[in-house]
Amino acid sequence: MDILFFSHQGAMYRYFNYLSRKLPFDTKVVDFSPIFQIGVEVPALSAADIAQGIAFHLERKRKKYKAPEWVWRIVQRYYERQYLRFYRRFYILLNKYQPKCIALWNGHRLPEFAIKHLTEQLNIPVVHFENGLLPNTTTFDLKGVNDANSLPREAKFYRARTASKVSTPVADRDLVIRKFHRSKRSHAKDDIFHKPLPAKFIFVPFQVKYDSQVLLNSPRIKTMSELYRWIEYVVHNSDDSSLKFIIKEHPSDPEKYTELYQKNPQIIFSNRDTKELIEKSHAVVTINSSVGIEALLLHKPVIVLGEACYAIDGLSHQLGSMEELSVVVNNISSSQPDVVLIEQFLDYLGREYCVPGSWRNPNTTHVGALTEKFTVLIESATEG
């Protein structure tokens, strides 16, 4: 078999089934439903292997739900057993179909981690799919997603490329439109979030508190309340009393930070259009949100507080402390984006890295690009 797709039932499962029908390869799509299995020996797993395999999944649930510690001990034991079941099931499937490569979504959660654990032992390449780094694109990466992806982290790599011309005027570049979580749709329309913007402000997008970007790629800031404290520190140490900070809660995060809305007059919460907030801001401060790349699309200075694939010297400022953030913000008026480097980086994303077309609305161009990428991978696996 050429490609074995793995996915939970849902939108990604339907997308993988679409690819399975359209791609010119021998493929199969498998979900994570339990199946009855007996009499098959699998490679042994150590306690450390299992702990590593469930760590992200367990931490994500802890962030989403509140429960006494004794409940989490029970949940942990349940996930340990689940991991063993998935590991056993996937070992049987991989030996049965012997795929040249595996395709899965993201790769961080418990079932996907069990698959990746096995593919490392069996030397099977894994394709990680995710939302694309650019609007209306999809990620296809053999190394991982987000900060774990395969993008070069050296500015010289992009500088060596011929400087691209800005084919679409910066002001006309479209960004991703994010829908509000059902629990926040009416809340987001409150007048408090739609006041006129101040003349001078820095935009700070909040992120989903249980997202892998925060749990895995933010060593210094683990909650949005901590991010707020960083911004408040900068406010207290600002050389410019007219500078404000605009925070936008992530539309997909059901959390409402009501206790922070009126806490500091220099820090304002808004639900105005993200593109407007970026365009009118003096800079964007983010942990590692995709808004950082959107800010680069609009040629704004970007300050990164976590780990991100665009935290590249010359492309953005990557900072590790409140003190560093305060210094950079106090000098932000003299910070001019390196437009040539930005366009070289974006050109590489658009021409080389990203798959054209969103996975939500795949078309013939999307399928054609994936066919090329999978062909190279499958031929390489066959030769190997």
Mean pLDDT, the chain, as a whole number? 92
Amino acid in the structure at residue 251? P
Q: pTM value?
A: 0.91
Closest CA to 84 of 132, 123, 46: 46
Tokens representing residue 359 in the block = 């996975």
Is residue 313 scored above 80 in pLDDT?
A: yes
Residue 34 reports pLDDT greater than 70:
no
**Dihedral angle over CA of 31, 6, 122, 48, nearest 10:** -70
* Stretch(es) of the chain classified as CATH 3.40.50.2000: 155-349
Greater confidence (148 vs 333) lies with 148
Q: What is the pLDDT of residue 98?
A: 94
Count CA atoms within 13 Å of residue 373 on its CB side: 24
**Arithmetic mean of pLDDT, 310-320:** 95
Which CATH superfamily does the domain covering 155-349 fall into?
Answer: Glycogen Phosphorylase B; (3.40.50.2000)
Report pLDDT digits (tens) over 243-298: 999 999 998 888 899 999 999 999 999 999 999 999 999 999 999 999 999 999 99
What pLDDT is stored for residue 358 in this prediction?
95
Please, which pLDDT band fits residue 182 given cuts at 50, 70 and 90?
Answer: confident
User: What is the 3-class SS of the chain, one letter each residue?
Assistant: CCEEEECCCCHHHHHHHHHHHHCCCCEEEECCCCCCCCCCCCCCCCHHHHHHHHHHHHHHHHHHCCCCHHHHHHHHHHHHHHHHHHHHHHHHHHHHHCCCEEEEECCCCHHHHHHHHHHHHHCCCEEEEEECCCCCEEEEECCCCHHHCCCCCCHHHHHCCCCCCCCCCHHHCCCCCCCCCHHHCCHHHCHHHCCCCCCCEEEEECCCCCCHHHHHHCCCCCCHHHHHHHHHHHHHCCCCCCCEEEEECCCCCCCCCHHHCCCCCCEEECCCCHHHHHHHCCEEEECCCCHHHHHHHCCCCEEECCCCCCCCECCEEECCCHHHHHHHHHCHHHCCCCHHHHHHHHHHHHHHHCEECCCCCCCHHHHHHHHHHHHHHHHHHHHC
Q: What angle do CA 327, 156, 148 make, to 5 degrees?
A: 75
| Amino acid symbol at 203 | F
Q: Which of left, alpha, beta for 56 (phi over 0: left; psi -120 to 50: alpha)?
A: alpha
Q: Express as a percent the part of the chain with pLDDT over 70.
A: 97
pLDDT at residue 344 greater than cutoff 90: yes
Q: Which band of pLDDT confidence, cut at 50, 70 and 90, is reported for residue 165?
A: low
For 14-18, 23-27, 116-120, which range has the lowest pLDDT when averaged over its residues? Answer: 116-120
